Chains A and B, each alone.
Chain A
Amino acid sequence: MSTPTTSPAPALPHLPPRANRRRRVVVPVATGVALLALAVLALGLGDYPLTPVEVVSAFSGQDGFASTVVLEWRLPRVLAALAFGAALGVSGALFQSLTQNPLGSPDIIGFSSGSFTGVLIGMTLLPALAVPQTVWALAGGLLTALVVYALAYRRGVQGLRLIVTGIAVTAMLQALNVWMLLRAQEEVAMSASAWAAGSLNLVDWDQLLPSLILLVVAGAAVRLVVSPLRQLELGDDAAAGHGLRLEPARLGVLVLGVALTALPTAVAGPIAFVSLASPHLAKRLVGGAGLPLVQSALMGALVLLSADLIAQHALPTALPVGIVTVVLGGSYLVVLLLRGAGQRR
């Protein structure tokens, strides 16, 4: 396995405090710069290519066609990738902290599976109603989250019970989804599966603006739960000893976590893996204990934006962005795991 001479490896990268502190500033700033560069690149790429300078000058709104392309067509999609990625990253960090489980993610409360169930019901059983997918997705997801919470509630909601209830409900919904897919017509099943992979193809301002506003509100509200969450991380008894009211705090975190997943899902479909991977990527880059909320948001945005760039421009056939996030985020996580192993040795 490893050489016999190595001393027992420390759990975290062993950095002197100052280097660690510097890292906490350098990493977010570097991620931010990368995001900005990628955003400009994304605004320039397409059937009507623009140089970065042209992109920036297009923002004045005076450049005629270039301004239309950048502001009306490409900006909503780029903003959606940034905002949705950030929201999913924060949501994942909240859930991992709440459940104290590295596999915790909004998926455990069943939102993604439930929203897919909703969409499948809309597409295969009740297509005559002509209710938009967004509504089906929100209804299915929120109903599922509510059911999971209600089933897990018993004089309070506790981490393990929430996880196990979530697993059970999610498993049933996934089975139901597979069953509906197997029975549906081929084209319907394929387009439903494409929705379930998550895609930013159809995002425009009309769809984006309401969810952006709500996301900003939810993001501001996250600040309120940061300190209760840190206390919860110490354990229930310690948190209660500090005078924290456990149930309202947990419910608050849960509602925010679900909201931050629900808004992107309603617009773009369930984009897998961003919420699971971003907090881990953030922790591995920043190091140290505690909840790297800001860095999780930045990582989520970075993963989703670069995945969307690849999905749009780098592949022979257009694929839903969710497929690329999964491959890209997963590979990045593997690289970080390998590099972390190298440092430790």
Chain B
Amino acid sequence: MAPTTSAPASRGRPPAAEGAAGSPGGRRTRRRVAAVLAVLLLAAVVIASLAIGSRPVPPSDVWAALTGGEVSGPDRAAVVDLRLPRTVAGLVVGAALGVAGAVIQALTRNPLAEPGVLGVNSGAGFAVAISVAFLGVTEPSGYVWFALVGAFLTTCAVFVVGSLGVRSPRPEQLLLAGVAFSAVLAGMISAIRLSDPERFTALQAWEAGSLRDRGWDVIVPALPFLALGVLVALLLGGSLNALALGEDRAASLGASVAWTRGGAILVITLLAGGATAIAGPIAFVGLMIPHAARWLTGPDQRWIMTLSFLLAPILLLVSDIIGRVIMWPGEVPVGIVTAFLGGPALIWLVRRRMVSAL
């Protein structure tokens, strides 16, 4: 466990070291600087993702391949047919998971909540397991619709059980319903998985979460859902801020608690469901990024969402690049790399008291 060594260095520092977030003026500057830096970093990461891969292609040829210049066939194929869709997949999946994570943590005010907690991952996983076990589907492009439908149906069920008998879905009840449904489905997935070696291998690969072989035929079906999700999230920002003050005060500020919660659940379904449909369950991005964004910007949900939208694809794409080269010529699925990059970072943040309670 590497992070232990870095611990003593940070111990002596007073908590005031991160005081820049304290004053309103300082926070405003800090937010803008963070946003600009995030955009620049994201651009750099996108370029790197196009340029780096198991097949060495010189940068000039990458550029030529993208702009339609003269390049050899295999080089063009590597860049245009493999790396370009893969990079786009990383961008949209990352952004979706980041925003979904920010919204679920704002909705439940629970730092343990991640986009999968409402049953999205297990719902998608269960549908994929069914498609593998009973319909013989074996390609990511075949999974995508199953995953979308499974995620959507499960979240609907969670929403219904979580909001029955109360005026608006109550966070704790929702979390419990999500946990309960996820558990039931996860159990059935394991049963399917352990019943047959062939299914085991296929599902194991899907459950690791990867951007490999995600062509346009996987990305495009999910795009409308993701776009709608981001749009609704943008509209919700202010009401989520009001909700953070507590139900009563939110109501007195004119925010409809029921509509806000319903909208938030819709956002999570669309974004997390779409992302999972493309890449499989990728843990941790949606959990970790909002913590980092909150540390950078303070409690304003609109800023947390914006920064999560920018930071999450950075984490995902960097992880994907590392996954492509670290075991060259083999690959490490991106979900595994995100955990190993994000884990130590999260521990470092929480030890320096940069992770704030909700």
Against B, the Cβ 8 Å flags (1 = close, 0 = not) of A309-322 are 00000000101101
Q: How far, in Å, is B295 (CB) from chain A's closest CB?
A: 12
Would A178 and B179 be within 8 Å (CB), given that A164-B350, A171-B284, A190-B200 are in contact?
no
**Which segment, of A34-42, A225-233, A324-332, faces chain B?**
A324-332
Which residues of the partner chain B approach A154 to less than 8 Å between Cβ atoms?
A: 11, 351
Could you tell me how many residues of chain A have their Cβ less than 8 Å away from some Cβ of chain B? 66
Q: Does any Cβ of A come within 8 Å of B333's Cβ?
A: yes
Q: How far, in Å, is A171 (CB) from chain B's closest CB?
A: 4
Q: How far, in Å, is A5 (CB) from chain B's closest CB?
A: 11
Which residues of the partner chain A approach B191 to less than 8 Å between Cβ atoms?
A: 319, 323
Which residues of the partner chain A approach B332 to less than 8 Å between Cβ atoms?
A: 179
CA of A178 to CA of B194, assembled, Å? 15
**Which segment, of B73-81, B169-177, B306-314, faces chain A?**
B169-177
Contact A168 B355, beta carbon cutoff 8 Å: no
Contact A1 B167, beta carbon cutoff 8 Å: yes
Looking across the interface, which residue of chain A has its beta carbon closest to that of B189?
Answer: A323
Looking across the interface, which residue of chain A has its beta carbon closest to that of B341?
Answer: A172
Please indicate which of the listed interface residues B167, B181, B182, B342 has the most CB atoms of chain A within 10 Å of its own CB. Answer: B167
CA of A345 to CA of B164, assembled, Å? 9
CA of A322 to CA of B188, assembled, Å? 11
Which label, helix, strand, loop or mixed, suits the secondary structure of the A interface? helix
Would A168 and B343 be within 8 Å (CB), given that A276-B179, A323-B191 are in contact?
yes
Contact A330 B184, beta carbon cutoff 8 Å: yes
Q: Does any Cβ of B come within 8 Å of A341's Cβ?
A: yes
Contact A327 B188, beta carbon cutoff 8 Å: yes
Contact B168 A1, beta carbon cutoff 8 Å: yes
Contact B283 A272, beta carbon cutoff 8 Å: no
Against B, the Cβ 8 Å flags (1 = close, 0 = not) of A145-164 are 00100111010000011011
Which residues of the partner chain B approach A340 to less than 8 Å between Cβ atoms?
A: 165
Seen from chain A, the residues whose Cβ lies within 8 Å of a Cβ on chain B are: 1-2, 6, 8-9, 101-104, 108, 147, 150-152, 154, 160-161, 163-165, 167-169, 171-172, 174-176, 178-179, 181-182, 186-187, 189-190, 193-194, 197, 272-273, 276-277, 280, 317, 319-320, 322-327, 329-331, 333-334, 337-338, 340-345
| Of A160, A161, A181, A341, the contact of B204 (CB 8 Å cutoff) | A181
**Which segment, of B1-9, B55-63, B135-143, B270-278, faces chain A?**
B1-9
Selected A-B contacts with CB under 8 Å, 19 pairs:
A2-B167, A102-B176, A151-B7, A152-B350, A163-B112, A168-B344, A168-B346, A168-B347, A169-B343, A178-B333, A179-B336, A186-B200, A189-B200, A189-B204, A327-B188, A330-B180, A334-B177, A337-B173, A343-B165
CA of A181 to CA of B180, assembled, Å? 26
